[in-house]
Amino acid sequence: MTTDYNQSQGVAINNILFNKLFPFHVLFDKSYSIISSGVSLLKVMPDIYQKDIRELFEVVLPKNIELNVDKIFDDYKNIDFYILKNKSSLLQMRVIFEYIPEDDIYAIIGIPWVTSAEELKDLKLDLSDFSSHDSMGDMLMALQLQKQTFSDLQEYGVMLDKKKTQLEEAVKLLDTSEKSLQTLLDSTCLGILMTDLNGNINIWNEGVQNITGIKIDDYDKKNLCDLFQLEGIYDNQNLISGQRYETKIINTNDKVNENIIKLTISPITDLNNSVKSYCHVFRDITNELKLESIMRENEKSMAVSLLTGQIAHQINDLLQGIHTNVDEAIDYIAADLVKDETGSIKTILKNIDEQSTLISKITNSMLSFSGQQYLSKKNYDINELIYNVIHQDDYQDIDKSIITLNLSHLPLIMEGDKKAFPTCLINILKNSSEALVNTKSPSIKIDTYVALEQELIDEDIKTSDYICIRIKDNGKGIKTDNLNLIFDPFYTTKIKTTQGMGLSFVQGYIRQIGGHLRVNSSYGLGTTVYFYIPLSTNINQNTFDL
Amino acid sequence: MYGMVNKAIQQMVTRDHGEDAWEAIKNAANVKEDLFLSNTSYPDSITYDLVDASSKYLNIDAELILIEFGKFWVLVTAMEGYGGLMRAGGNNLKEFLLNLPNFHTRVSMVFPELIPPTFEVHNIAVNSLDLHYITHRPGLQNFVVGLIKGLSTMYEVETEITLIANRDPDTGKGPDVFRIVW
Ligand code: HEM
C-alpha cells in the first residue's frame, strides 16, 4: 500500500500530543544518540538520555538483523516491524523505525511486547501507561480470556475423565449385577420371562420351563399371548396405567400334571415413567391351593361338630322329657289308672322307650364327635385297655390273629373314659380290617410308647408328655386326595357303612381329652394311625379304675 | 450473563463452604451444567437461581450474599484475572469511579455478547460522589454495594455507601443512586 503523504495537509504535532500518542517512543540522531523518549518508557528505563541506542537495544526478531539505520531503510525496507530487546532488562519492544526529515532524526515508535498482565506488572507498568487508542489492553484481556478458556477446557477434560471412570465402574457393576441376576434367575423356582410391549419374548429362565412344561427353545422370538392363549392381555387397564396385574392360568401343556399357575405381569418403566417392557413371573400354586382347601375343610368340620353338639344337647333334653313321660305313663298303666285291655298301649310305650334310648345313643355319639360329651374321667393304663380289646371276644368282625402287639413295658397312664378309648381303637381296627380285605398277608401292628420329642415338634404339640399309640396296617391305603376327607363325618368310601361317624367320632374324643390324631397313608402300601394322648398328671391319686 | 459470573459464585461458595455445599446448591437450583465456561453466555435465570439456592442452603440473606459476591468479584475474580485492567481503572477510588462509565466498554471488546450495566457519576465533590446505576436487571443493587466495598478495600479507603434514590418501582426505569462518601 502506498500513500502519497505529500498530497495530504500536514499537521505539526507538538511534543505533548506526540508523547500522549506514543508514550513508549524513542528519538535518536544520526550518531545513534538518544534525544528524547516517551514518559512511559522512562518509567522502565529512566537514564537513557544521550545514550547510544545500540548499546541499550538489540534486534531479536527477525533474526540476524543489525541495528543499523542505513540497512534498516535500505536493505531491510520490506521488514514490517522489529522486536527490540533491552540488553539490561526483560523489556522487549514491538517497534517500527521512522525517519523525520524535518529534524533529520530517527524515531522508534512502538510499545512493550508482553503476552500477559503479569509480564506488564513485572515491568512495573499498567494499562494506563499505554495510549488510549492502543488496543494493548484489549489484547491482554483477550489473552487472559484465552487462558481462562484453556483452563476451563482443562477442567472440562478432568471432569470428562472422571465421568469416564465413573461410567467404566458403572459398566463393570452392571456386568457383575447382570451375572448375579442370571444366577438368581437360574436358581429361583419362579419362572421369570420378559417381553416387549407386544408380548414378544426376549429373556426367560429355566423356571418357566419347569412350571409350564414348555421347552426352552420354544420361546425365542415367540409371542407370550400365543404360547399361553392370553390374547388381549396387554389391553388390561392396570397394565396400561403402569400397575401390575395378576391372573391365574390352568396350564394343560403338561399332559400328565395339569397345574394352576399364578401369573404376575409387572410393567417395567424407563426414567421417564413410560412402560418399555413387561416382566412376567410364573408361580405354580397348585399345592398352595390344595393346602388352602384342606384348611377350609378343617374349619368346616369344626363348625359342623359345634353345630352337631348343639343339636344333640337339645335332642337330649327333649328325650329326657319323653323318658319321664313314658315312665309316668307306664306307672299309670301299672296302677290300673288307665285301662289297657289289649296291652297295646304298653307295647307302644315300650317301643317309644326303646327308640328313644336308641336316639339317646346316637346323640351321645354325636356329642362325642363334637367333643362335648361329658365323659367320666379316670386313670387307665393304655396297655391294659388295648390288651383287653384284643383278647375279649366282643369284637367279632375283627380278625385278631393278624394283630401283633408291641406294648410298652411301662404302664402308660391316660386320663379318660373307660369305654371311649376302646371304642376309638375298635373304630380304627375296623377300618384297617376293611382296608385289608384283598391284601395277601394282612397284618396290623400296634405299638405303644412315650412319644418322642421330635414327633411332637413335628405335630406342633410339645407342651407336655404324650403317649403314642401307633396302629399300622399293610392294607390298600388311602388316596392322597381323600386323606383330608376321612375326618369328615359324612364321608365314606364304603357303600354301606356300619360305622356311621367313624373317624370323626375318634377325632372328636381324642381332641376332647387334649390329644391328637394323625393319619399317614400311602395308596397301595398301607395306613398308619397315630394317637397322641396326654400322659395323666395325677397318677398318684387313687383314680384308677380297671 | 457470561459464565465467569456463575463461575465466580461457584468459587466463592466452594472457598467458604466446600464442594459439597456447591453441589447441593447446584442441585437445588436445578442447574444441569457440570461446569460453567467463562467465555460462554448463559441465561440470567441461572445466576439468579444460584443466588437464591445459596441463600436458602446456607441460610444467609440473599442481600448479604450479593454484597459478599460484589467484594469477591472485585478482589478475587477481577484482580486475579484482570488485574491490569483493574489497575488501569485509576490510581485511587475516586479516579476508578470516575472511569467506571468506560469500564464495561472495554470489557465488551472481548465479551461481544455482554449486556453491561450503565454507570454515571454526578455531584462530584472532594470526598464524595453520586453513582447512578442503570440496568434492566432487577435486584442487583446489593451487588453494586459489594463491588464498591471491594473497591474500597482494594484502594484501602473507608467508605460509606447510601442508596439515596431508587429506580421507578413500576417500570424499572431510571437509576438507582448511591451516595459514596470516603
Ligand atoms: C475486570 C473487571 C470486570 C469484568 C471482566 C466484568 C465483567 C462483567 C460481566 C461479564 C458481567 C455480566 C454481564 C453479562 O454477561 O451480560 C458484568 C456485570 C456487572 N458488572 Fe462487571 N465486570 C468487571 C468489573 C466490574 C466493576 C469494577 C463493577 C462496578 C463497580 C462492575 C459492575 C457490574 C454490575 C453491577 C454488573 C451486573 C449487571 C447488571 O446490573 O446489569 N463490574 N460484569
Decide if B19 is inside a domain: yes
Cβ contact, residue pair B39, A149, below 8 Å? yes
Measured between alpha carbons, how far is A1 from B98 in angstroms, rounded to an integer? 41
Q: Is it true that domain A378-534 has CATH number 3.40.640.10?
A: no
Residue at B128: amino acid letter: S
Nearest residue (CA) to ligand 1, atom 40 = B117
Chain A positions in Cβ-Cβ contact with residue B87 (cut-off 8 Å): 126-128
SS3 A66: coil
Query: Sign (positive/negative) of CA torsion A400, A401, A403, A405?
Result: positive
Q: Name residue, grid cell 540522531.
A: A29
User: Does the pLDDT of residue A377 top 60, yes or no?
Assistant: yes
Asked if A466 contacts A451 with a C-beta cutoff of 8 angstroms, the reply is yes
Residue spans of the domains in chain A: they are 3-133, 188-284, 291-370, 378-534
Give the range of the structural domain holding residue B40, as residue numbers without chain letter: 3-60
C-alpha cell at A344: 297295646
Domains A188-284 and A378-534 share a fold: no
Looking at per-residue pLDDT, the higher value among A544 and A146 belongs to A146
Asked if A261 contacts A254 with a C-beta cutoff of 8 angstroms, the reply is no
CATH number at residue B138: 3.90.1520.10
Nearest residue (CA) to ligand 1, atom 21 = B104
Decide if B75 is inside a domain: no
Measured between alpha carbons, how far is B112 from A53 in angstroms, rounded to an integer? 42
The phi-psi region of residue B136 (left if phi > 0; otherwise alpha if psi is between -120 and 50; otherwise beta) is: alpha
Looking at per-residue pLDDT, the higher value among B49 and A464 belongs to B49
Beta strands (DSSP E) in A200-294 are: 201-204, 245-251, 259-269, 275-284
The per-residue pLDDT for range A404-445, each reduced to its tens digit, is 999 888 888 888 877 778 888 888 888 888 888 888 889 999
Instruction: Give the domain A3-133 fold.
Output: Beta-Lactamase (3.30.450)
Mean pLDDT of chain A: 82
Instruction: Give the domain A291-370 fold.
Output: Helix Hairpins (1.10.287)
User: Does the pLDDT of residue A374 top 90, yes or no?
Assistant: no
Cβ contact, residue pair B88, A142, below 8 Å? no
Interface of A with B (CB under 8 A): 117, 120-121, 126-128, 135, 137-138, 140-142, 144-145, 148-149, 152, 155-156, 159, 163
Nearest residue to B81 (alpha-carbon basis) of B11, B153, B180, B134: B11
Tell me the percentage of chain B whose pLDDT exceeds 90.
79
> Is B74's C-beta closer than 6 angstroms to any atom of ligand 1?
yes
Nearest residue to A286 (alpha-carbon basis) of A265, A308, A256: A256
User: Does the pLDDT of residue A262 top 60, yes or no?
Assistant: yes
pLDDT at A498: 39
Domain count for chain B, please give it: 2
Side-chain half-sphere of A536: how many Cα atoms within 13 Å?
A: 20
Strand partners, A109: A96
Q: How far is A158 from chain B (nearest CA, A)?
A: 11
Rounded average pLDDT over A54-66? 93
Q: Which of A450-454, A480-484, B57-61 has the lowest mean pLDDT?
A: A480-484
ipTM of the complex, rounded to two decimals: 0.82
A454: Cα separation from own chain's centroid: 34
Decide if B39 is inside a domain: yes
C-alpha cell at A311: 343339636
Nearest residue (CA) to ligand 1, atom 38 = B117
pLDDT at B45: 96
Omega of the bond leading into A422 within 30 degrees of 0 (cis):
no
Atom of ligand 1 nearest to the CA of B74: 27
Decide if B116 is inside a domain: yes
Q: For residue B178, give the H/E element and its range.
A: strand B176-181
The answer to whether the predicted template modeling score (pTM) of the entire model surpasses 0.90 is: no
Same domain, B104 and B168: yes
Instruction: Give the domain A188-284 fold.
Output: Beta-Lactamase (3.30.450)
Q: For residue A271, give the H/E element and its range.
A: none
